[in-house]
Amino acid sequence: MTENRSTERHKRRRLLPAAMGAALLATTMTVVSVHAETGPEAEEEGNYQYTPVADTVRADNPELTQYETQFLDLYDKIKNPDSGYFREFDGLLVPYHSVENLIVEAPDTGHATTSEAYSYYLWLEAAYGRLSGDWEPFNSAWESMETFIIPGTEDQPTNDAYDPSDPATYIPESLEPGDYPMPLAEDVEVGEDPLADELSSTYGTDEIYGMHWLLDVDNIYGYGFCGDGSDDTPAYINTFQRGSNESVWETVPHPSCETFEHGGENGYLDLFVDDPEASEQWRYTNAPDADARAVQVAYLAQEWASEQGNESAISESVANASMMGDYLRYSMYDKYFKEIGDCVGADSCSPGTGKDSSHHLLAWYYSWGGALESAEYPWAWRIGGSSAHQGYQNVMAAYALSEGDMAPESPTGAEDWATSLDRQLEFLQWLQSSDGGIAGGATNSWEGAYNEPPADVSTFYGMFYDEKPVWHDPPSNQWFGFQVWDIERVAEYYRLTDDERAGEILDKWVPWALENTTVGTDGDFQVPADMEWSGQPDTWDGTSTGNPDLSVSVVSHDQDVGIAAGLAKTLLHYADATGDEAALETGEDLIDALMANEDDLGVAVPEVREDYERFDDPYDAPDGGLYVPEDFSGTMPNGDEINSDSTFQSIRSFYFDDPDYAQVEAYLDGGQAPEFTYHRFWAQVDVATALALHGELFGDSEE
């Protein structure tokens, strides 16, 4: 690891001369849209070179199992440029969120990408490295991540103006987008940042080494780098900014670098913050679960490479993962570094000193930002996250960074992660329902404004139980996927360490999941989709009570490909650790059912999208639509008007030209809900790594 990560390689993505844009685009693969029924139809033929590897690796490793050979075939499909999972920039691949462009979930277009997708890209290449012994693709994935989605030197200037004793100006949150913009509250005292000086002295830079969560890969919005409109590299953008009830349908995509070039008089700032002295600025938001997954995968890669005698091949990437984990500690802190526990009243909560503002959990986000270099008075800020969701916890990352030979270089990093490992396990014990499912989470700032919580709410180290932390539309703990993402990591940790605390959680969770999962014939399967919660956990006193007053009901099932694969991996880890035959059988059956749904692009099943009725919802629609204040008037880079009459689709007029939009339009005109077959990148990798995991743990048991 270099003393200062601000190397020429890391800066190069922002140092390309503007004149090189056309030449660079001529060498890139661009897939514009994929029809659910007919497969890829690219406007330009993909032209990055890829040589299939499955036959070569099989020939060199005749002992590979059936599932491992299936992994290699799926790997080739994912990496094939004609499939459309990646776009190339200067020899580096950037994964799309999905092959299909018209898809609306957390990202509002499939040709955006997320830090989540990048963490899965690493996982795909780590699994390939285990089978092939070739670690260059893994290193290339890390290089792409560092080049494109970890902000570089020119993306985050003015960090040297950051004052750890005054990390940010307090801005209260509101539950409703219609209450925004929210005012600055400069009279509210915030706590001290205990990490900044340690990290700066350890790594020789004031910059943050963490992923921003969202990129516009094809620059479809037109922001380019810092508002210049260039399209020679993915553009940092953001969407969610206005409270827990702001769904994706109510967001305004805006650039992470705000130059007032687009939007209204003050760019997009007037939609979010009431700041009479608004100035040009940059700001980024980290999704801690993605960075933690990257750390987890780097640990696995290190273990596999070491077994091959190839540890040195990925030592730089692993060292960078440890550094990422060091900065990820910002997610362990209250948003405004207030003391943890019984924090009520923004003026009353004590500002933190030292590490008493750390809850030791992975929060929903951490963020950082500052003035552009052109500012007369440079400034910078950082915030943590007050709310922790069970689905974001990652005991594998905590284990890797404390006990798993990936200790960060900072003086207190490994110690903090050791504390976090224990705290995360306690958190899951506290949140486990009497049925076995894991409830939502906890917050140190009720409703994002340190409000008074209900009188009878239970607590965890003084943090208040929250059934749906941060995200209410839809409720953040309604989706079964968050169960699987978290518990898979617990099961892997249990398999590696035999920690009884993890085993106790799994011994309740696995039977509940099995009871609500069915696998039929010819590729039919059903896994939990939506859940409803009742009651709350008992206040935590260090020992689980079994939470007799907290229960969960599975209210719907579906064929979510990625979650079925994640559930299969969870069951395989558990079966290997315990010998549980039912878990092994169901895990294998799920994998077989998934592979029965394989098509030319990967593994996918059709899905009906009734929620697409919200494409043209006005603000006063029953489910809520896009809110723009009456006094705001502006335009998107392509000229789409932003005003109080705007809707989700009116400021995304590019969708009108998408071949798949015809189905949406027919639905909005009174027809049937559209049906699409989506190939989400993360879901394909979950299937692929389930195949690889079975081979790793059970060898030829399937034959």
Q: Pick the closest to residue 361 from 428, 284, 286 (CA basis).
A: 428
- Rg value, the chain, Cα: 24
List b or e across 613-643, with b for residues whose CB sees 16 or more CB atoms inside 10 angstroms: bbbbbebeeeebbbbbeeebebebbeebebb
Catalytic hit among 82, 274, 456, 522: 522
Q: What is the largest CA-CA distance in the chain?
A: 70
Q: What's the distance, CA 253 to chain centroid?
A: 17
How many CA atoms within 13 Å lie on the side-chain side of 453? 22
645 catalytic residue (yes or no): no
Question: What's the sign of the alpha-carbon dihedral 569, 571, 574, 576?
Answer: negative
Give CA–CA dist 444/334, Å, rounded: 7
CA–CA gap between residue 67 and residue 75 (Å, rounded): 12
Contact 293, 119 (CB under 8 A): yes
Strands in 518-519's sheet, in edge-to-edge order, are 518-519, 525-528, 557-558
DSSP secondary-structure letter at 260?
A: S
Instruction: Decide the pairing of beta strands 675-677 and 606-608.
Output: antiparallel
Of the candidates 400, 364, 387, 553, the one whose C-alpha atom is nearest the C-alpha of residue 489 is: 400
Three-state DSSP class for 53?
coil
User: In this structure, which amino acid lies at residue 681?
Assistant: F
3-state secondary structure of 477: coil
Integer Cα distance of 239 and 85 in angstroms: 23
Do residues 550 and 536 touch, judged by C-beta distance below 8 A? Answer: yes
Q: Are 364 and 392 in contact (CB under 8 A)?
A: yes
Residues 6 or more apart whose Cβ sits within 8 Å of residue 523: 593, 594, 596, 597, 605
CB 123, CB 297: distance < 8 Å: yes
Using DSSP, state whether 235 is helix, strand or coil. strand
Among residues 615, 619, 630, the alpha carbon closest in space to that of 181 is found at 630
> CB of 357 within 8 A of CB of 384?
yes
39-62 as b/e, with b when 16 or more CB fall inside 10 Å?
ebeeeeebebebeebbeebeeeee
Question: What token pair was written down for 15?
Answer: 């140092």
| Residue linked to tokens 């899965």 | 120
Q: Which two tokens stand for residue 412?
A: 């207190």
Here the contacts of 504-511 (C-beta below 8 Å, separation 24 or greater) are 504/429, 504/544, 505/425, 505/428, 505/429, 505/432, 505/438, 506/574, 508/432, 508/436, 509/432, 509/436, 509/437, 509/438, 509/483, 510/436, 510/570, 510/571, 510/574, 510/580, 510/583, 511/436
Q: Which of 69, 141, 84 is nearest to 688 (CA)?
A: 69
Q: Which two tokens stand for residue 407?
A: 């200790």
Alpha helix (H) residue ranges in 61-135: 66-79, 115-132
| Residue 377 structure tokens | 């008075």
Q: Which two tokens stand for residue 105?
A: 């979930």
Pairing outcome for strands 463-466 and 459-460: antiparallel
The CA-based dihedral angle spanning residues 226, 228, 232, 233, taken in that order and rounded to the nearest 10 degrees: 10
556 token code pair: 């719907």
Question: What is the C-alpha separation between 402 and 1, in angstroms, rounded?
Answer: 19
CB of 596 within 8 A of CB of 523? yes
Active-site residues, by number, are: 522
